[in-house]
Amino acid sequence: MFKTIRTLARILFALLVVSVAIGIAGCGPGTPASKTAFDNVLTIGSWGGAYQEAQRKAFFEPFTKETGIKIVETSTPDYGKFYEWQKGGTTSVDVVDVETYFVFQAGRKGALRRLSKDVSADKTLMSGGVNDYGLASCAYADVIAWNSGRHPDWRGLTWADFWNTAQFKGARGLRDLPASTLEAALLAKGVSPSRLYPLDVSSAFAALTDLRKRERIALWSGGSQPIEWLLNGSVELTSAWNGRVYDAQKEGKQLAMTFDGGMLDWLWWVIPVNSLHSAAAERFIEFTLRADRQAALARLIPYGPANQDALKLLDEATLSHLPTSPTILAKLIQRDNNWWAEHDEQVQPQWREWKVGLGK
Amino acid sequence: MRSVRTAVAIVVAGALAAPAVAVFPLAVSTSRFLDIAGFSGRWFASAAEPFWLKSIELSIVLGIGAATAACVIAVPAAYAAATGGSARTTKCLDGLAVATLVMPVIALAVGYFRMFGESDARVLFLADTTLCFAMPYLSLRMASARLSDAQLQAAELLGATRLGAMFAIWIPNLWRPLALGWVLAFLTSWDETVLSVFVAAPGTTTLARAIWETMQRERDLTAAAINALSAPLLSTLLVVLLGVPSSRGSAR
Amino acid sequence: MEGWSREVKSVRHLAYTAPALVLLAVGFGWPLVLLVVGLGSNGFTFPARLIVRVEMTTIELAITVSVAATALATALALVVRNLNEWVRRTVFFLCLFPMGVNIAFRVFGVQYLLSPEGPLVATAEALNLSLNPGALLFTRTATTIGLIHWTFPVVVPLMFVAATRLDEATEHAALLLGAPQRAVVFRVILPQLGPAIATSFTLSFCLAYGSFITPAALGGINDVTITRLIGSFLADGRGADASAAAVVALLGPTVFVLLFWLALRAARMSTMSTRHLSAER
């Protein structure tokens, strides 16, 4: 009897081993982008949420239809990752959507691939949106947002109001990035926009520490978070990206925003220096900069197109919501990305310390 | 007095379990922004999209693979400890098993990152098996401590080899702790989020990672639908195997 | 099993434990070694102040959570002791149900419950009460609640089993002799539950301490835990800092488990010596 049981047990054991082996082999599909030799898969990192959905409809799906190149979507990593990729010699993302100051900073440090001139040829792009290492795709604004359903009497709030915790009670939301947040602190303390740069960093941190003593602050890293927080009441006042607020408003949510004191910036496409799919990546970037594609994106989410020809394809209603429209542009402050490109590294350690309460 | 105690017990247990039970109403919510204003099947439909299906598939494969591998490795090790193996090795394995349970996984993730960089599912398989090992191992160790040696001694006298006795007597007697260990191991791998987020490359998304990323960044409630289907099954399995501790002798 | 002792000393015996040792060496030991090696990759400069401050916060948080979780589990186990079998099964199932739900979702459930647009506030409003649980979000309280929810299903089975093993005879004797209920609880029941309580406390400490998802979702900037710090270093590509923080993070549970083991040994020693004394009498 022992013998039969033993044989059965051995067969079962063998089956288990085989199934485990199949399991290991079957786990193959998730090979990182950089390891595949084929140029028909592109990994693209962006900011998620309504913005990435709009990009999917305006860029990713049409691109795949036209070229047959499949797109794997992921999120824009923290910027420090790029330097790690640069050191390590590989990268897991081929095209990334990033902010201006990072393009300047990383370009200088060699973490980004030089783009060939054909990508931007024949396109009327904003002059400030062309760089050896990246191409601007759209303009967005950092705005102040709140829930008008819960606070119908709050109108036209400014950064000074944001810091006024006595009159405007409730938790605050701020982006987990010193850029734009330090400016907000200084503006709240009465610094005039024309005198903002060079930033008085210690004064800004003092203002932030002062705010955090008086009210809870939540830091967001994903664009949908402040919207979500406003809707479920976790925060009452927050900074946010205008396109996300507009998207929620379109869904019938009672959110309000103000462009006064808001900050304008551009989002750029960059290719990490060690990408193995740079040809496909450049093809993709060229595709997104075409006038019709840019117009398609602007219709889905109100971010100003970089390609000026796209503006001719848009109707009045859409144009009026863009941060680049004259009325709105007049209210916005242009972020000094050269200052940030130079000083971000010094500010980061202070930001990290401030985040855990060690700030001065 | 008894009814008060019953009520209190159920209320407290319910309150502590409430965040998990919230999965059910959220699974049928109508809007992405958390309105419980109506009844909608949209999240179940969304769960059938390729992105979610792929991550579910990966999690199931990893879970079954890692749990099974962990059991296959843990059974002989626990058996060796039970039948007079080297005390030093036993203590070493016991200690390592406990260590994998109590160490912060993210600290391990830093080491894995240095070892493999951003990697694919095979590394996750190794990591999951390592983390899952403790479940069947400790479950068997504790259960075999309570098992009497008599059967094994009888088998030895009747001429069985050590290996044969393991298959013929030890495992059949301990199938319940082993099954419990397997289920706990599966749950460990199923729920393993930290390594999946920090060590795996963008194309390798387990269900846990997909849920974490979409819930915090996008408030996509598809995770609610998936959990509404999987959680009752997994939890029931767990409770049945664990057995409700009863004062009338050992757990069922 | 003397007949097998020959086999035990043979090489074949290694086959039983070798796979486990190899797995743990490769999957657990080697990454930790690399972790320590990684300390030097940036010239041994670390944000020490930052790491220490965060570590202190984490330990505080973990202790609070484990005290609360253990106390709740113990109380619950004692309360359901002699109740109807179906009540006990329901309570047990309720306590363990969360283990089948993904942690990222469980954490979201806590956010949802505490949110001003969630069911708690809705119920309070229906009852004409004014409640503001949303004020708890992004605070240490929310993180604590979330972590208690996380560790609770793990300690409940431990305490339930321990409660079933209580010596009812001593309890009844004490009550019959006129001891007040309180004294019975503190001097008869709890000492018997001592080891289980200690195990639960240690286990929930380690779980709460090592948790990343819960503090990351529920915590504000005033409760950054060591795990969140490591996470942000990793995401930022700061490998050396991550290694330093990870090494410090490993100290917490190690120290705790060591203390626990020593306490257990001390307790065993003292019971052995008292037994020895009473035996002599």
Which of B32, B58, B102 is the mutation pick for testing C, counting most C CBs within 10 A?
A: B102
ipTM greater than 0.95, yes or no?
A: no
Residue span of the structural domain in which B109 resides = 54-220
Do B175 and B242 belong to one domain? no
Per-residue pLDDT at C46: 81
Span C70-84, pLDDT tens digits:
999 999 998 888 888
Going by C-alpha positions, the residue among C157, C141, C150 that lies closest to residue C103 is C150
Query: Once rounded to an integer, what is the mean pLDDT over residues A338-354?
Result: 90
The answer to whether residue A28 scores a pLDDT higher than 50 is no
Decide: A7 and A13 in contact? Cβ < 8 Å. Answer: no
Query: Collapsing DSSP states into helix, strand and coil, what is residue B28?
Result: coil
Query: Once rounded to an integer, what is the mean pLDDT over residues B15-27?
Result: 85
Cβ-nearest to B153 among C1, C105, C250 = C1
Residue in chain A nearest C58 by alpha carbon: A356
Separation between Cα atoms, residue B205 and residue B198, nearest integer Å: 11
Do B69 and B172 belong to one domain? yes
| Residue B41 located in a structural domain | no
DSSP secondary structure of B67-114: HHHHHHHHHHHHHHHHTT--HHHHHHHHHHHHHHHHS-HHHHHHHHHH
The answer to whether residue A195 scores a pLDDT higher than 50 is yes
Structure tokens belonging to residue A274? 């060690």
Per-residue pLDDT at A51: 92
Instruction: Name residue A219's beta-bridge partners.
Output: A174
The answer to whether residue A17 scores a pLDDT higher than 80 is no
Query: Collapsing DSSP states into helix, strand and coil, what is residue B37?
Result: coil
CB contact under 8 A, A33 and B160: no
The answer to whether residue A24 scores a pLDDT higher than 60 is no
Do B74 and B181 belong to one domain? yes
Do B252 and B151 belong to one domain? no
Determine which of A152-166, C138-152, C227-241 has the lowest per-residue pLDDT on average. C227-241
C141 — contact with chain A (CB < 8 Å)? no
CB hemisphere CA count around B238 (13 angstroms): 26
Per-residue pLDDT at A34: 41
In A145-184, the residues whose Cβ lies within 8 Å of chain C are: 171
Cβ-nearest to C53 among A79, A217, A358 = A358
| Residue B103 located in a structural domain | yes
Going by C-alpha positions, the residue among A92, A96, A186 that lies closest to residue A137 is A96
B122 — contact with chain A (CB < 8 Å)? yes
Query: Once rounded to an integer, what is the mean pLDDT over residues C31-47?
Result: 81
Separation between Cα atoms, residue B138 and residue B131, nearest integer Å: 12
Span B45-86, pLDDT tens digits:
878 888 889 899 999 999 999 999 999 999 999 998 888 777
| Residue B202 located in a structural domain | yes
* Tally of residues, chain B: 252
Angle at alpha carbon of residue B70, lines to B68 and B72, rounded to 5°: 70
The answer to whether residue B249 scores a pLDDT higher than 50 is no
Query: Once rounded to an integer, what is the mean pLDDT over residues C104-113?
Result: 87
Determine which of A33-47, A75-89, A330-344, B207-221 has the lowest per-residue pLDDT on average. A33-47
Do B243 and B209 belong to one domain? no
Q: What is the mean pLDDT of chain A?
A: 86
Residue B180 belongs to domain with CATH number: 1.10.3720.10
DSSP secondary structure of C168-204: HHHHHHHHHTT--HHHHIIIIIHHHHHHHHHHHHHHH
Per-residue pLDDT at B43: 79
Angle at alpha carbon of residue C165, lines to C162 and C166, rounded to 5°: 95
What percentage of chain A carries pLDDT values higher than 70? 88
The answer to whether residue C272 scores a pLDDT higher than 70 is no
Do B58 and B171 belong to one domain? yes
pTM of the predicted model as reported, rounded to 2 decimal places? 0.85
C229 — contact with chain B (CB < 8 Å)? no
Per-residue pLDDT at A32: 42
Query: Once rounded to an integer, what is the mean pLDDT over residues C175-204?
Result: 86
| Residue B48 located in a structural domain | no
Cβ-nearest to A80 among C57, C222, C238 = C238
- Residue C10's pLDDT band, with cuts at 50, 70 and 90, is low
The answer to whether residue A347 scores a pLDDT higher than 80 is yes
Going by C-alpha positions, the residue among A47, A79, A109 that lies closest to residue A240 is A47
A254 — contact with chain B (CB < 8 Å)? no
Would residue A180 be called left, alpha or beta, if left means φ above 0 and alpha means ψ between -120 and 50 degrees?
Answer: left
Q: Tokens 């000492």 map to which residue?
A: C191
Determine which of A93-97, A116-120, B182-186 has the lowest per-residue pLDDT on average. A116-120
Per-residue pLDDT at A30: 40
Total domains, chain B: 2
- Residue C36's pLDDT band, with cuts at 50, 70 and 90, is confident
Instruction: Name residue A43's beta-bridge partners.
Output: A72
What type of residue sits at position C186? F
Going by C-alpha positions, the residue among B136, B130, B78 that lies closest to residue B109 is B130
Query: Once rounded to an integer, what is the mean pLDDT over residues B212-217?
Result: 78
Would residue B79 be called left, alpha or beta, if left means φ above 0 and alpha means ψ between -120 and 50 degrees?
Answer: alpha
Span A45-55, pLDDT tens digits:
999 888 999 99
Distance in Å, alpha carbon of A232 to nearest chain C alpha carbon: 5
Which of B1, B135, B244, B252 is the mutation pick for testing C, counting most C CBs within 10 A?
A: B244
Query: Once rounded to an integer, what is the mean pLDDT over residues A228-246?
Result: 90
Per-residue pLDDT at C20: 92
Q: Tokens 């708890």 map to which residue?
A: C136
- Chain A residue numbers with beta carbons less than 8 Å from the beta carbon of C224 are 355-356
Per-residue pLDDT at C9: 62
Decide: C208 and C65 in contact? Cβ < 8 Å. Answer: yes
| Residue B36 located in a structural domain | no
Per-residue pLDDT at A20: 55
Query: Once rounded to an integer, what is the mean pLDDT over residues A100-115?
Result: 92
Other C-beta atoms lying within 10 Å of the C-beta of residue B233: 10
Structure tokens belonging to residue C190? 């709890």
**Which residue spans within chain A are E strands per DSSP?**
41-46, 70-75, 95-99, 134-147, 172-175, 217-220, 237-241, 255-270, 304-305, 333-334
- Chain B residue numbers with beta carbons less than 8 Å from the beta carbon of A45 are 202
**Residue A34 or C207, more confident:** C207
B37 — contact with chain A (CB < 8 Å)? no
- What residues contact C230, with CB distance under 8 A and at least 6 apart? B104, B106, B107, B109, B110, C242, C245, C246, C249
Peptide bond connecting C215 to the previous residue in cis, omega within 30 degrees of 0: no
| Residue B137 located in a structural domain | yes
Do B78 and B197 belong to one domain? yes
The answer to whether residue C176 scores a pLDDT higher than 90 is no
Do B99 and B187 belong to one domain? yes
Superfamily classification of domain C52-237:
MetI-like (1.10.3720.10)
| Residue B232 located in a structural domain | yes
Separation between Cα atoms, residue C184 and residue A60, nearest integer Å: 70
Do B233 and B210 belong to one domain? no
Residue in chain A nearest B203 by alpha carbon: A30
> Within chain B, where are the H helices?
2-21, 23-27, 42-46, 50-82, 87-102, 105-116, 121-132, 134-146, 150-157, 162-165, 171-173, 175-190, 194-198, 207-217, 222-242
Domain boundaries, chain C: 52-237
Residue in chain B nearest C229 by alpha carbon: B106
Where is A339: in which H helix or E strand?
helix A337-355
Do B117 and B153 belong to one domain? yes
- What residues contact A38, with CB distance under 8 A and at least 6 apart? none
Structure tokens belonging to residue B72? 């296959």
Do B238 and B117 belong to one domain? no
The answer to whether residue B104 scores a pLDDT higher than 70 is yes
CB contact under 8 A, C134 and A218: no
The answer to whether residue A111 scores a pLDDT higher than 60 is yes
Per-residue pLDDT at A203: 94
Other C-beta atoms lying within 10 Å of the C-beta of residue A215: 18
What's the 3-state SS for A93-123?
Answer: CCEEEEEHHHHHHHHHHCCECCCCHHHHCCC
Decide: A306 and A139 in contact? Cβ < 8 Å. Answer: yes
**Residue B71 or C269, more confident:** B71
Per-residue pLDDT at A27: 46
Span B140-194, pLDDT tens digits:
998 888 877 788 888 878 888 878 888 888 888 889 999 999 999 999 999 999 9
The answer to whether residue B7 scores a pLDDT higher than 60 is yes
Residue in chain C nearest B4 by alpha carbon: C79
What percentage of chain B carries pLDDT values higher than 70? 92
- What residues contact B200, with CB distance under 8 A and at least 6 apart? A30, B118, B119, B120, B121, B123, B124, B206, B209
Per-residue pLDDT at B47: 81
The answer to whether residue C216 scores a pLDDT higher than 60 is yes
Decide: C71 and C152 in contact? Cβ < 8 Å. Answer: no
Going by C-alpha positions, the residue among C160, C162, C167 that lies closest to residue C196 is C162
| Residue B151 located in a structural domain | yes
- Chain A residue numbers with beta carbons less than 8 Å from the beta carbon of B174 are none
Query: Once rounded to an integer, what is the mean pLDDT over residues B16-37?
Result: 74
DSSP secondary structure of A143-193: EEEEETTT-TT--S--HHHHH-TTTS-S-EEEESSHHHHHHHHHHHTT--G
Instruction: Name residue A269's beta-bridge partners.
Output: A97, A135
Structure tokens belonging to residue C150? 């996380």
- Residue A37's pLDDT band, with cuts at 50, 70 and 90, is very low
Query: Once rounded to an integer, what is the mean pLDDT over residues C220-249?
Result: 87
- Chain C residue numbers with beta carbons less than 8 Å from the beta carbon of B136 are none
CB hemisphere CA count around C170 (13 angstroms): 13
Decide: B59 and B128 in contact? Cβ < 8 Å. Answer: no
Query: Once rounded to an integer, what is the mean pLDDT over residues C30-53?
Result: 83
- What residues contact C63, with CB distance under 8 A and at least 6 apart? C205
Do B119 and B216 belong to one domain? yes
Decide: C104 and B208 in contact? Cβ < 8 Å. Answer: yes
Q: What is the mean pLDDT of chain B?
A: 85
Separation between Cα atoms, residue B131 and residue B106, nearest integer Å: 12
